[in-house]
Structures are given as structure tokens and as C-alpha cells.
Structure 1
Amino acid sequence: MSILENERILLSPLTLENYHHLIEVAQEKDLVYYSPSNISSSEKLRAYVKVALKGFEDKTSIPFLIFDKDKQQYAGSTRFGLINWENKVLHIGWTWIGHEFQGTGLNTHMKFLMLHHAFETLEFEKVEFRIDERNQKSRKAIEKSGAKLEGILRKDTVMNDGFRRSTCCYGILKGEWPTIKATVFGAY
């Protein structure tokens, strides 16, 4: 499993041996409000990690632990998922970072490293993102990163409280990456 790193962030493989670094962050209120995942206790977080690792075994996901080098703290988790090796399409998602790390630029560094790896190392043709239609903060962040809204899957995901959310599908094509890399991520 790869390690992705720059001067600000370290993305290392998420495992059952290191997930405990995330227990405190995972229990923050409303951290994954717009996600169908439940990470609210150490047991539920462990189950979440097991699902991610099963995907890794099946070659459909690559989960990461996020470490903020500025703060010298573990900040959360993210992953490549729904990896389609044949068609060279994957998703970046299952991302959650603690409230104190939000709005600090950490997420931008993370997205750059992941997009760079997907397009330039793995040589994928497309990266997708799926976001709850109600999550304006995440939608604006992903739009700012250059992703294009491709459509909305209506009421396609059941949330923990039984609500059926609609999911916005965003994408970046390999041919769009050089321009996005230079204009959006030029300083990275």
C-alpha cells in the first residue's frame, strides 16, 4: 500500500494496528453527519476499518490514515474506493477530518496528493466524488478543486436515521488534470 506525503500531510495505510489514533477524532459531534457510516464508538470505528480493509483485500479500496504534519496530530481518514481497474475509474471519498483541521488547507493538500497519485502514478482515466446533496460545504470544496457536477442520484442512499439522501456525482477526467493541477493546485 502506498504512502502519499508532502510537507503538510502524510497519508499512510489505515490498518487495524493504527486505527486507534482516530478514536478521539471519530467521536466528534456531527463529524460524519452526511455519511451513512457510523464511527461514533471505538467498536463502530473498528467495524468501519474492517470494511475498508476488506475492500483493500478485494482490490476495490485503498484506505488512508491522515496525519497533519503542522499540528503533529492524526486528523482523520480517507480512501480511494469503488476502484474499477479495468475501466481506470475510482472514487475519492469516505473522507472525514476533525473539526479543528477543517478550513486549514489540510483537505486541499490531501486532495492534491490523491489526485496526483490517481492520475500520474496509477494512470487512471477518471476520479469521481459522491457527496450528499445537502452538504454544501463539501460540494463547494470539491467544485473549487475543479470537479464537475455530472448528475444527482435521487434518494439513492439510506442514512443512519432512515433519511434517504440524494447523492451529487462529481468527476475529473485525466485530460482535465494538467490544467487543474496548474491552476487549482499550482502552489502544491
Structure 2
Amino acid sequence: MTLEPVTLSGQYVDLVPLTQQHHDQLAHAVADGELWSLWYTPIPEPGEMAAEIDRRLSLQKAGTMLPFAVIDKATQQAVGMTTYMNIDLHGPRVEIGSTWYAQRVQRTPLNTEAKLLLLSHAFDRLDCLAVEFRTHFLNHQSRRAIERLGAKLDGILRQHMRMRDGTLRDTCVYSIIASEWPAIRSGLNWQLAKRR
């Protein structure tokens, strides 16, 4: 398996390979809700966006991340970022993470469809054994969103990492395995259909 940059398209969202050309729109998007002020997740400030894009692209070059800009099809504007990360080509398995969205598109069909596109590509095209999600133990909004997808909690990594403010993060690890994917795909398609 190789992970090449790819565009994933749906009705509400396009996930396109991240480039520095997305910088201005992403700097504007992250200001919607001052997302960098969320203490439990690392999100760049507008002035840090160029460095964050460079960081993600360097991880892509190293083969450990495949970053996307999240494009709202209604406005054709970048409204966030997401990635395949911690890529294990031998499994194969990937983690979907380092995701953030402008406040105005949170809890909309855009996020549900973005996850559907990423999971579909991982299981149906890349033949992954499992897809993982990780989040801070105290990030209840993210945990609820991951659980709504149908992912199961594998466990909690205690004192897993140090946050920017020096606090220690307990990390919840969730996964979806290949045998669960057909039912989860049906559930996500149902969620999208009822919003139309």
C-alpha cells in the first residue's frame, strides 16, 4: 500500500491535498471560534498557519501523514484540516486525526461526510485492517463525535503526552475494524440522508 495525495469528493465537502495555497482561507477559518484557545487540543493560531502547513507537508514527505484541506462545497472555501496520520503501511492501518473545523461548520453534515469519505477510502481503496481515532480524555465533544461514528474505545493511554500548557494528556484510543465498516457505512449514509 502507498498513500498518494488524493481528492475525496462528496455532496457537502471536498477533501483536497493540503498546500500553502490554502493558507489564507485556513487562517480565516481558524479564527472562526478562536479555535487555538481550546486548551485540550493543539490548533494553530492564524499567525502559525504557514508553519503548521509546512509541518504537515514535511510529515507527508516522510510518509507518516497525508494531510487534507477541508473545502466547504457551498462556499468553495477551506474551512478546516484533517489527515491520515500514524500511517502503518504493513497493516495496513491509519489514524484519522489532527482535525479541526471552523465553528460555523461544526455539527453540520460536512463533518459526517468528511469522515465517511476518509473511512471509505481507508477501507474500500486502501484495504485497511483498522482505522484509529485519538483524542484527549477531557475533549468530550470529540469523544461523542467519534462514538457517534460507531468507533469503539480500545483504551486510554495515561499521561500519554504533554500539552502546550504543560499539563499531561490522557489519550482515548478508538478504532473501527474492517468487519465493522459495512454497518458503520450504512449508519453514516443514513445520518446524511436524514439531513437532506
TM-score by length of 1: 0.93
Match of 2:56 among 42, 52, 64: 52
Q: Distance in 2 between matches of 1:129 and 1:139?
A: 9
- Give the aligned residue type for 1:118: A
Tell me how far 1:16 sits from its aligned partner. Answer: 2.0
1:40 to 30, 38, 45: 45
1:87 aligns with 2:91: yes
Pick from 130, 155, 158: which aligns with 1:154? 158
Distance 1:6 1:29, change over 3 A: closer
Q: Report the Cα distance in structure 2 between the residues aligned to 1:69 and 1:16, rounded to whole angstroms.
A: 19
- 1:102 counterpart (98, 103, 106): 106
Higher helix share: 2
List structure 1 segments (4+ residues) > 6 angstroms apart after TM superposition: none
- Distance (Å, rounded) in 2 between the aligned partners of 1:132 and 1:20: 28
Quote how far apart the aligned CAs of 1:74 are: 1.8
Please list every run of 5 or more consecutive structure 1 residues that lacks an aligned counterpart in the other structure.
Answer: none
Contact 1:118–1:124 (8 Å) recurs in 2: yes
**Quick one: distance in 1 between partners of 2:127 and 2:91?**
11
Please give the TM-score of this superposition, normalised by the length of structure 2: 0.89
Whether contact under 8 Å (2:136, 2:169) holds in the other structure is yes
Instruction: Give the aligned partner of residue 174 of structure 2.
Output: 170
Q: Is the 8 A contact 1:38 1:160 kept in 2?
A: no
State the percentage of identical aligned residues.
35
What is aligned with 1:68? 72
8 Å CA contact 2:9–2:117 kept in 1: the answer is yes
Q: Is the 8 A contact 2:27 2:49 kept in 1?
A: yes
For 1:122, the equivalent position in structure 2 comes to 126
Structure-2 separation of matches of 1:132 and 1:168: 6
